[in-house]
Chains A and B, each alone.
Chain A
Amino acid sequence: MGRVLPPVDVTGVGPDAGWVTVAEARLLLESSDFRRLVWRRWRVSLALAGVLCAAYFGYILLVVLHPPVAGRRIGEATTLGMPLAAGVIVLAWLLTVAYAWWAGSRHDGHVVRLRRRLRRESPVK
């Protein structure tokens, strides 16, 4: 249990941080803050992945099981299938934007806050 992890730059300003022992790390990992961080990260990921799968596999099942729906004309010759396919592609990209936005505006702040808690009381110089 006394094993030490590599030196950690928790301040983000340079290699002046102390060493973190596994015992200290375990304390942090068991804190409700860290658990909430991990849980939130996967909840957001799985929700967005769910939207992606619903859209893509829904589209595939639609064109395989009910081809007339996608084959319906919406212009002189253009079929509904074309905007559907384009919509799935655009939605997939928007989901990555949504995740990056969430992670950048919410998640990263919590990560930095938790990392600070790993800082030793006395800096090692």
Chain B
Amino acid sequence: MELAPGASIGPALAFFAAIVALTIAAAHRAARRTRSAREFYAAGRSIPAWQNGLALAGEYLSAASFLGIAGLIALRGYDGVIYATGWLMGWPALLFFVAEPLRNVGTFTPADVVAFRLRQRPVRMAAAAGALATALVHAIPQVVGAGTLVALLFGIDYRAAVLLSGLLMLVFVLPGGMIATTWVQIVKAGLLLSGVLVLGVLVLTRVGFSVDRLSLAVAARYGQAALEPGGIVAGPLDGISLGLALMFGLLGLPHILMRFFTVRDAREARVSVVYATGFVGAFYLLIPIAGFGAAAFVGRDAIAALDAGGNMALPLLAAHLGGAPLIGFVSAVAFAAILAVVSGLTLAGASALSHDLYVHALRQGAPPEGEQVRVARLSALAFGAVVILLGLAFEGHNVAFLVGLAYAVAASANFPALLLAIVWRRYTTRGAVCSIATGLIASFGLILLSPTVWIDLFGYPEAVFPLRNPAIVSMPASFAAGVLASLWWPERKAEVRFVDLRLRAYLGVGAE
């Protein structure tokens, strides 16, 4: 069937309304249980491991992975598969390095762990800056993507689409906090996984469940080159730098890290990563089948005609395989995906604003429970409003590079501070502030000078910094700054309190 803007509005709206109703019902139930800060930020630490695993997968799998990577595989062939593989690699690293100590030492935010034995005010401010920068930079492309996608699929105005998705997001987050957001993520992850499973199976039925025949169909249309590595990675250094950002960026994403405070203890945190890795891995195993299917059955010209980035490959494939009902389902899933990621990011941004900046930096940990929850809701409103406004401001701009920037910032500003706080006895307040500041400045500065912005956006002929992803420089720089500043300005108190941190991190003594 043909795919015109707004053509699928009927079934898409029906699916969409069903999803929204389902999630609002869950969020409403959650809202009645959300009274304390522990419930608003951490869902009362009551989420079972398998649910948290699904929610983690939901939090992580953005529309960029659902639509973008499938489109990349459809248009660029095997190169897209190389790119897809990297997105799973952070999960085992998250388990090996931070999941358990993070759960044991922290209460609501990763900054709890960084500031545990250091001077609260400076460290909270620096860590909140890192978390807010990551959440904002990550949220903008999601909102812009949501606006574009909804405008294209439902045939409504971009601004109306952005406002609608922003308002819906606030409906989930404001009353229900983490419990509601968790349910949004679980519903979304379930939909996303079943969506890609249905598409994958439908593609495979067309080729008699033989991957080789699918490859043959792709090769028949676009040559054997579509199944061979091409030039997506500019060189070994660029490849390793991107890999580092993907792997260690996950360990610094505030909306992922704060999920570990929703489970009972370190053991549940550990098991939830195993579930999450399984769900995310299954997703990345299936998405190439859908992507190659789109190339074979829909064709690259038709995909690129609707959106040069390939974002419409899956909706088009759905239209080809299942007609209006299936495309409605896929569009609704994609929209739910964006909505859910923005909800998680808003909650993460709000907790950095309220728990780190207001409660700990401004009120020095003292405000009563009711005030904390009130400030948390206000922060969510403020953060959400900023994200919506930025989404409106960036209409029509190519902001895809911001996803890469978010990972670079997370890997360079948030992750080194967190790891050093857990493992290094001689880490100090100044060391933490210096490493976060260095990571922020280096990743933002280098991405400005990189080919991604300097050539593609500003139009200069040659980039000042040769790599597309700065992580290979900015992450070691941040570690170096943290170590050097700590050695230069030793802090006796922080070293003494390392005892408490180790007891909590390894034995769970005093963990909440």
Contact = CB atoms under 8 A, between A and B. Distances in A.
Chain A contact-residue range equals 35 or more
A64 B233 contact: yes
A73 B228 CA distance: 9
Nearest to A6: B510
B270 A115 contact: no
B218 interface: yes
A112 to B, nearest CB: 9
B228 A70 contact: yes
Given A60-B82, A77-B218, A49 B96 contact: yes
Interface stretch (B61-69, B168-176, B195-203, B277-285): B277-285
B85 A59 contact: yes
B359 to A, nearest CB: 19
A25 B229 CA distance: 55
A27 B490 CA distance: 24
B307 interface: no
Contact of B267 (A29, A45, A108): A108
A118 to B, nearest CB: 7
B119 interface: no
Nearest to A95: B92
A21 to B, nearest CB: 11
Contacts of B509: 5, 8, 10, 20, 25, 115, 118
B239 A60 contact: yes
A100 B229 contact: no
Contact of B274 (A28, A79, A97): A97
A64 to B, nearest CB: 5
A15 interface: no
B272 to A, nearest CB: 10
A12 B455 CA distance: 59
A63 B506 contact: no
Given A38-B502, A49-B97, A78-B227, A63 B82 contact: yes
Interface in B82-137: 82, 84-86, 88-89, 91-93, 95-97, 100
Contacts of A99: 92, 95-96, 270
A77 B216 contact: yes
Interface in B166-218: 211-213, 215-216, 218
B239 A90 contact: no
Given A63-B82, A81-B82, 19 more contacts: A10-B509, A26-B499, A34-B506, A42-B423, A45-B96, A60-B82, A61-B236, A70-B228, A77-B215, A77-B216, A79-B224, A79-B228, A93-B277, A96-B274, A99-B95, A100-B270, A111-B506, A115-B508, A115-B509
26 contacts: A5-B509, A45-B97, A52-B93, A57-B243, A60-B82, A60-B236, A64-B236, A67-B230, A70-B78, A71-B224, A71-B227, A75-B211, A77-B216, A77-B227, A79-B224, A79-B227, A81-B227, A85-B84, A86-B285, A89-B85, A92-B92, A92-B277, A93-B277, A96-B92, A111-B506, A115-B507
Interface of A: 5-6, 8, 10, 20, 22, 25-26, 28-29, 34, 37-38, 41-42, 45-46, 48-49, 52-53, 56-57, 59-61, 63-65, 67, 70-71, 73, 75-79, 81-82, 85-86, 88-90, 92-93, 95-97, 99-100, 103-104, 108, 111, 114-115, 118
